């Protein structure tokens, strides 16, 4: 007959043979966990690579846009526009001199008819 | 020459398969014995044992070297057994004996049968009795700790232990009466 304290010390020495296939099951579980860890590492690396690529492409596009619209270019475009508008105001459309001549002739014609 | 446990722990922390295998070989029978004490079915005991060892090997980083390493592993195994029981078994942990009766009934110096005999009898006990008996007698948990672990009152934990002891003694008496019927008959007549 034993009391509780004796039973406690016995329980520390208590051993039951573990099933033989237990290690194989445990090992495969550990390998699965290792594979998962590897996959998750690969995922992190690939996500980081994609983000880097997107950032690089964006930076490249932005730098190209900046090249197109530099201040020197815009001033050139402006001056071209001004030039074009000057051409529009040229006598080609309005021909003021011709109008004036026509008016004076008309005036002369009307004074002739009054006489 | 046997390898020092600190070296094995270090190898396991580095996730070295050789170190894991050595640790397993060293403690497999001790930890499997715990599972068989809590769980009747050997298939369940094996599943919980594997899950426990998996947790030990993957969470070994959390062991900071404070306290006994075997004790740390035992706690993980016990917790896994309790988790399994909570999920899959109705522990029926509801019976509470009045406090006045408990004081008279509990005595750590109570004489019980031999260890092997009790281990055999444990299988015949309901899951609730077996669990509390295991935690109190073999794992040395206090009733307050058992109550916290199982989500029951301290009183219920004490009651379960008393009822478990009574049931064990009943089973022993029954077995003795079957083995020595004449002896028992004579005892009853005294």
Interface residue A10 vs chain B (CB under 8 A): yes
Mark yes or no for CB contact B53/A26 under 8 Å.
Answer: yes
- How many Cβ atoms sit within 10 Å of the Cβ of residue B95? 13
At B180 the pLDDT is 58
> How does DSSP classify residue B137?
I
For B111, the closest of A3, A27, A34 (CB atoms) is A3
- CATH 3.40.47.10 for the B99-189 domain, yes or no: no
pLDDT class of A33 with cuts at 50, 70, 90: confident
Residues 6+ apart with CB under 8 A from B63: B9, B69, B72
- Give the tens place of pLDDT for each residue, B130-150: 999 999 999 999 999 999 999
- Domain boundaries in chain B? 5-88, 99-189
* Chain B residues lying within 8 Å of A5, measured CB to CB: 108
Nearest in space to B121 (alpha carbons), one of B135, B133, B136, B109 = B133
pLDDT class of B106 with cuts at 50, 70, 90: very low
* Chain B residues lying within 8 Å of A19, measured CB to CB: 32, 42, 46, 49
At A1 the pLDDT is 42
Q: What is the helix (H) or strand (E) element at residue B106, kind and residue range? A: none
- Give the tens place of pLDDT for each residue, B79-101: 999 999 999 877 666 655 555 45
Mark yes or no for CB contact A2/B114 under 8 Å.
Answer: yes
Helices (H), chain A: 4-13, 22-68, 71-88, 91-94, 96-114
- Give the tens place of pLDDT for each residue, A46-75: 899 999 999 999 998 888 887 766 555 555
At B185 the pLDDT is 47
Mark yes or no for CB contact B46/A2 under 8 Å.
Answer: no
Longest dimension (CA), chain A: 160
Give the nearest chain A residue to B139 (CA atoms).
Answer: A8
Mark yes or no for CB contact B33/A16 under 8 Å.
Answer: yes
Angle between helices B115-122 and B154-179 (to 10 degrees): 110
At B120 the pLDDT is 87
Question: Phi, psi (5° rounding) for residue B139?
Answer: -95, -10
At B111 the pLDDT is 55
For A8, the closest of B46, B110, B137 (CB atoms) is B137
User: What is the full DSSP assignment across B44-71?
Assistant: HHHHHHHHHHHHHHHSGGG--S-S-HHH
| Secondary-structure class of domain B5-88 per CATH | mainly alpha
Asked if pLDDT for residue B107 goes beyond 50, the answer is yes
* Paired tokens of B66: 């404070």
Nearest in space to B147 (alpha carbons), one of B124, B126, B166, B128 = B128
What does pTM read for this prediction?
Answer: 0.68
Interface residue A29 vs chain B (CB under 8 A): yes
The strand pairing partners of A27, in sequence order, are none
For A7, the closest of B24, B30, B137 (CB atoms) is B137
């Amino acid at each position: 007959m034993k009391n509780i304290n004796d039973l406690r010390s016995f329980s520390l020495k208590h051993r039951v043979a573990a099933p033989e296939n237990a290690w194989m099951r445990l090992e495969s579980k550990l390998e699965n966990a290792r594979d998962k860890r590897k996959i998750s590492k690969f995922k992190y690396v690939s996500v980081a690579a994609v983000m880097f690529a997107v950032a690089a492409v964006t930076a490249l596009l932005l730098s190209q846009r900046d090249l197109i619209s530099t201040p020197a270019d815009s001033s050139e475009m402006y001056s071209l526009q001004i030039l074009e508008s000057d051409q529009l105001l040229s006598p080609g459309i309005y021909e003021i001199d011709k109008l004036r001549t026509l008016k004076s002739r008309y005036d002369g014609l009307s004074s002739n008819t009054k006489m | 020459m046997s390898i020092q446990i600190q070296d094995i722990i270090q190898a396991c922390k580095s996730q070295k398969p050789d170190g894991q295998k050595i640790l397993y070989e060293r403690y497999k029978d001790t930890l499997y014995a715990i599972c068989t004490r809590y769980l009747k079915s050997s298939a369940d005991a094996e599943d919980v044992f594997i899950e426990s060892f998996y947790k030990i090997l993957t969470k070994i980083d959390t062991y900071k070297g404070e306290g006994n390493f075997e004790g740390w592993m035992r706690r993980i195994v016990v917790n896994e057994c309790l988790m399994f029981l909570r999920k899959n078994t109705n522990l029926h942990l509801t019976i509470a004996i009045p406090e006045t009766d408990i004081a008279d009934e509990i005595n750590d110096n109570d004489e019980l049968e031999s260890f092997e005999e009790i281990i055999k009898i444990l299988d015949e006990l309901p899951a609730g009795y077996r669990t509390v008996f295991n935690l109190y007698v073999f794992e040395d948990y206090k009733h307050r700790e058992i109550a916290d672990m199982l989500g029951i009152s301290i009183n219920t934990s004490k009651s379960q232990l008393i009822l478990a002891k009574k049931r064990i003694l009943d089973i022993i008496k029954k077995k003795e009466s079957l083995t020595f019927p004449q002896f028992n008959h004579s005892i009853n007549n005294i």
